[in-house]
């Protein structure tokens, strides 16, 4: 008798938790499209870390990343009707974030924005050296990515900056999964070649 009551209690608790469970992305989207603008906050809370991380990877600067993240959510809201509810919302907003960040990078550059980015701290002399070495390598990697052919570059950026899965990239770009796989492999081989030609071989692995 007691065990029956216990099982019932557990079931009731599970049911209660279920109803408290947050609405799915798709439910939120349809709510927002139905006119409940404030529901969008659920998506902002859920995806802000992911969006910010992508923005930070591209911009390498916290202030710029915050601007990009804000702009990405606004763009997603404006374009919400175009979102395909059968696909993960995370991949969709990641791509918007990546494009926003890349656009902002080039436009800020054109405007000659002289915002400061990270500074070097010399609290540790060994760190200072490795930071300079890392900066040199990161600069070379970014330049090498910029030099990839367009289709390959976009695929690689979606993977490397936006963390999209192969299936998500395939859907976003409208190409087969196998194409995504071979593009990424080509991108990596090309980057490796270019960097090796510049003398980044064994030594850069120690950095």
Return the residues of window 163-202 that contact another protein according to CB under 8 A: 165-166, 181-182, 184-185, 188-199, 201
Residues 6+ apart with CB under 8 A from 55: 64, 65, 66, 68, 69, 72, 97, 100, 101
Does position 160 interact with another protein (CB under 8 A)? The reply is yes
Radius of gyration from C-alpha coordinates of the chain: 22
* Residue 108 contacts another protein per CB under 8 A: yes
Please state the closest distance from residue 23 (CB atom) to another protein, in A: 17
Q: Which is nearer to another protein, 12 or 63 (CB)?
A: 63
The residue from 20, 82, 174, 205 that contacts another protein (CB under 8 A) is: 205
Q: Which stretch binds another protein (CB under 8 A): 4-12, 14-22, 59-67, 89-97?
A: 59-67
Residue pair 94/163 in contact (Cβ under 8 Å)? The answer is yes
Tokens of 120: 């070097």
Cα–Cα distance between 165 and 152 in angstroms, integer?
15
Span near another protein by CB under 8 A; candidates 10-18, 20-28, 81-89, 116-124: 116-124
């Amino acid at each position: 008798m007691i065990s029956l009551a216990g099982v019932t209690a557990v079931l009731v608790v599970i049911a209660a938790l279920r109803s408290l469970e947050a609405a799915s992305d798709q439910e939120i989207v349809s709510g927002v499209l139905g006119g409940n603008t404030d529901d969008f906050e659920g998506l902002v809370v859920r995806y802000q870390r992911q969006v910010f991380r992508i923005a930070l990877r591209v911009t390498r600067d916290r202030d710029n990343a915050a601007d990009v993240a804000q702009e990405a959510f606004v763009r997603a809201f404006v374009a919400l009707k175009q979102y395909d509810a059968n696909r993960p919302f995370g991949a969709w907003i990641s791509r918007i974030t990546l494009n926003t960040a890349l656009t902002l990078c080039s436009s800020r550059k054109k405007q000659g924005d002289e915002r400061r980015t990270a500074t070097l701290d010399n609290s540790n002399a060994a760190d200072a050296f490795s930071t300079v070495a890392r900066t040199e390598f990161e600069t070379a990697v970014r330049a090498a990515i910029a030099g990839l052919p367009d289709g390959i570059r976009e695929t690689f950026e979606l993977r490397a900056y936006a963390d999209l899965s192969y299936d998500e990239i395939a859907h976003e770009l409208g190409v087969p999964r196998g194409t995504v796989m071979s593009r990424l492999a080509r991108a990596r081989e090309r980057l490796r070649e270019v960097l090796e030609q510049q003398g980044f071989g064994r030594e850069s692995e120690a950095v």
